[in-house]
Structure 1
Amino acid sequence: MFDLVLRDVRGTTTLGRLWFDQWILGFAYDGSRRVDYVSSIENIRVQPIPTEDAKKWRIGQHFHHNINASSSDPDPKVTAPQTMNRDELLGVWDTKPHWTLTYTSPDKGALFDRGNQQRVFSTVAMDMSASSPNSAPFTGGSNVYNSSVRYYYAGNIAGKHKGTVFTKARVELVMSQKDPAVNESALHIYDALNRPERTFPSWPGKSIPGSKEPLRRVVDPGSIEKNRKKSISECKKVWGDYAGSGLECDEYPFASTKEGSTKGDNRFSVRLIDGKDNRKGGERLNETYTLNRVLDGDPFYVKITN
């Protein structure tokens, strides 16, 4: 909620107080290089001095965007909505509190097999204004809202091949120790994050990322396979030959992360768990990648519940 004091142009006389709620919802999409924002001003209340007419007071929302060309793929472009500014009398906001803005990025077709995922990193921000015919300009409304967006066309590694994501949103893989389908996987990860002294390889002061430090996805099949081979080798060192037991070597951090077992810092854990449980845990991880459109190098976190 905003609580503003309007003053005259000299800044010496208070003209009144203005209260209102402002909210903005952003919508990213799986399958479309588009992002929508629904913005609103509502629950307006005023307390003007007797000589001031609050019906002439105004509130404005002013959107703007930029592109981070250095992080984007070649020729990054964003198409902004035709209307990016709305400056209205309070009564108009009361009558029509909501409005929608749509930003898109041109789709050049599938180029990901040539190494171009058409990633465009953009920031959408909004400044807020409040005024009356007798007031000094309100100066505290700069950049009261901003969101970071990535447009992409990356193929089947990320949902419906193309889309948008809010890059500041925290992506989490959540698993429960009470879920019978993945309870062994969940316990292994829980121990790795919270009781690393119970994990192998064992060394003093061991810590493993994923809870406070993010993991980062790897999509290169060769790197994933190297992580798996290293982890399986570690399992055999500890438990010997487990072929035919129905057990599989579970590894954390996952083989499909840059923090996997070949990183070289030994901040990983391996454990023999039920094979079906291990495979189901892998399915849950892939679902997280797909639903959240996690690309190569993107960060994510892991949360284990009891």
Structure 2
Amino acid sequence: MKKIIPWILFFFLFFSFEGVHAKELSQEEIYRKRMDLYKKTEALTSIPWYYLAAIDQFERSIRDVRKDLPDPPAIIGYYVPPEQWAGPLNPNPKDTNPFTIALFGGIGKDGNGDGKIDQTNGEDLLYTLAQYLRAYGVDDQSFRLALWDYYKRDQTVRSIMTNAKIYRTFGQVDLSEKAFPLPKGYNYTYKNTWGDRRGWGGRRIHEGTDIFAGYGTPVRAVAYGVVELKGWNKYGGWRVGIRDLNNTYHYYAHLNGFSKDLKIGDVVKPGDVIGSVGSSGYGPPGTAGKFPPHLHFGMYKDNGIREWSFDPFPHLKMWERSSNKNQ
């Protein structure tokens, strides 16, 4: 009997463990369920799905990097503090009763008609968000005003408008593809130079990775995003800035020039050519040749409060491996 018990325990734990994994969703299933919820809420409220998706994705991106916010669940990332959801004077912050939530001035709404207002329910969350937006209107100007009144921060409004523009352009939420900034077939070399000292223009650190390549080597967008900046900077020369769906700003500097017709506000996808490698910078507009030709690639993260640079080298290595594998 003693020999049988350990085997019974083993099979119980094994099948329980397998059962847990069987319930986990693939990334494809998560995207599909997310889109289903956006579309259902759009049908109920007439709020365009890409507005809902834009806010939801922004909230998910900041929850991933903020310690003062709970980690986002798998499907819907939109977050409302319990005191706002249930009401500031509600003694029960986890209240799900529509009557008492309304009595205490909570903003939570019942989105699926089950008689409960559940802050962990994706339908209730998106319906509550949609009702807030509905009071403003369903065009971009109204949406922008609603965002400002809610977040009170210009960069947050721009980031969410970026998300909405990308989702509306491509008509889907599965937009996680990435690309290495230089295409295959060109010679290049790089190492981790983030944090190195720089002396021109004053002592500072290097906020990026330098990818050395020949003049004119095409430079590509690494992610789905919107062109937020284009022009000259005395440090970076001709440069482009693109913000993606994860509220990450990609900075491409020392360019030889820009792609024809590229302009601020353009939507790009991974692999789109945005310019070419050069040696511009370290002086007034037109200065070039003060250093070997290379692409300075930087990444900056915004968490809804502030923005900071981080090391892009691990991401470049990952995108490079993926590019080689898919060739």
State the structure with more CA Rg.
1
Q: Which has the higher helix share?
A: 2
RCO comparison, higher one (Cα < 8 Å, 6+): 1
Normalising by structure 2, we get a TM-score of 0.30
Q: Which has the higher strand share?
A: 1
